[in-house]
């Protein structure tokens, strides 16, 4: 199976999604969803068949992971992809995108925040996407605090364009945003310098926890800023690697108790690596979710 770095560099990114339980947030309908990065290999080979299998396992919401201006949605035009979703009783409220600062073969990647964003927003609107998410910063796109300030400017501008289409822009973290530079966290720079109405956060609970930060403390410091979460568990080994939801050390019940404070609307189950078939892992995760959280 391909590594995350290689997969992202080939413009086929991350993530799974669930609308918060009615008993937690009094939502009118409960969605249990999957970030499609978890089944990325299957999506490359047979996207329609994979979506059907995901739906059969009980998921009714997905988060996209591969949009670019040329690949579109898993090789499909927006209308065709939306049709496949409908046929399987699925919605896609959120989708991931790259910043686009880094180039491939000396050329900018279209369908990114910095290149071809207008088309990306228009295509997302056709599919029914409510949240467009900056998924990941490549090594060359991170830099120092001044560069994160520039990224914040890019996000604000992209968020303005999203707002015109009735879409919310979000930023998805890993752990590197929590590595201090000159006594400051890049994540705090992004939080403070982006307009909170234009740029919200998709908090990856695994990466924040692994970096030593309590998600609940982040919610308390920035209430209403986190409409999307990534639900990803951490195993109990010294490596603290990925595991099925409910098999690890993250206290999801405690975090979910603060869903309203966070402003959470959807959460996305994601498992970057699985010990066997990803379908076996996502079956275990949804069983835990239904038994415990939704």
Is the entire prediction scored with pTM above 0.75? Answer: yes
How sure is the predictor about 2, in pLDDT bands with cuts at 50, 70 and 90?
very low
The least confident of 64-78, 192-206, 217-231 is: 64-78
* CATH (one of 3.30.1360.170, 3.40.220.10, 3.90.700.10, 3.20.20.150) for 4-293: 3.20.20.150
In terms of pLDDT, which residue wins out, 18 or 133?
133
pLDDT above 50 for 29? yes
Mean pLDDT of 12-38: 61
Residue 253 has pLDDT above 70, yes or no: yes
Which residues lie across from 145 on neighbouring strands? none
Query: Which of 27, 33, 113, 102 lies closest to 69, judged by CA?
Result: 113
Choose among 85, 163, 95: nearest CA to 131: 95
Residue 30 confidence (pLDDT)? 79
- Model pLDDT, residue 69: 73
**Backbone angle region of 93, left / alpha / beta, with phi > 0 → left and psi within -120 to 50 → alpha:** alpha
Least confident of 4-18, 54-68, 133-147, 152-166: 4-18
pLDDT band with cut points at 50, 70 and 90 for residue 218: very high
């Amino acid at each position: 199976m391909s590594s995350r770095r290689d997969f992202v560099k080939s413009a086929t990114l991350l993530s799974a999604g669930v609308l918060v339980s009615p008993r937690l947030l009094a939502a009118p309908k409960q969605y249990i969803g999957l970030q499609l990065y978890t089944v990325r290999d299957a999506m490359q080979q047979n996207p329609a068949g994979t979506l059907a299998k995901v739906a059969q396992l009980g998921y009714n919401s997905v988060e996209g992971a591969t949009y670019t201006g040329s690949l579109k949605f898993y090789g499909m035009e927006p209308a065709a992809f939306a049709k496949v979703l409908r046929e399987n009783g699925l919605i896609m409220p959120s989708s991931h995108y790259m910043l686009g600062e880094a180039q491939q073969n000396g050329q900018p990647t279209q369908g990114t925040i910095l290149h071809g964003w207008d088309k990306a927003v228009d295509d997302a609107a056709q599919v029914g996407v409510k949240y467009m998410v900056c998924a990941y910063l490549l090594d060359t796109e991170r830099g120092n605090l001044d560069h994160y300030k520039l990224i914040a400017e890019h996000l604000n501008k992209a968020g303005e364009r999203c707002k015109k289409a009735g879409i919310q822009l979000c930023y998805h973290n890993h752990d590197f945003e929590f590595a201090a530079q000159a006594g400051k966290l890049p994540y705090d720079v992004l939080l403070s310098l982006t307009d909170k109405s234009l740029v919200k956060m998709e908090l990856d609970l695994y990466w924040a926890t692994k970096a030593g930060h309590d998600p609940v403390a982040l919610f308390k410091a920035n209430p209403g800023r986190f409409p999307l979460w990534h639900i990803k568990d951490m195993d109990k080994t010294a490596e603290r690697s990925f595991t099925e939801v409910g098999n690890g050390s993250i206290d999801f019940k405690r975090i979910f108790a603060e869903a309203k404070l966070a402003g959470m609307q959807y959460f996305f189950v994601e498992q970057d690596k699985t010990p066997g078939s990803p379908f076996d892992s996502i079956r275990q995760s949804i069983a835990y979710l239904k038994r415990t959280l939704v």
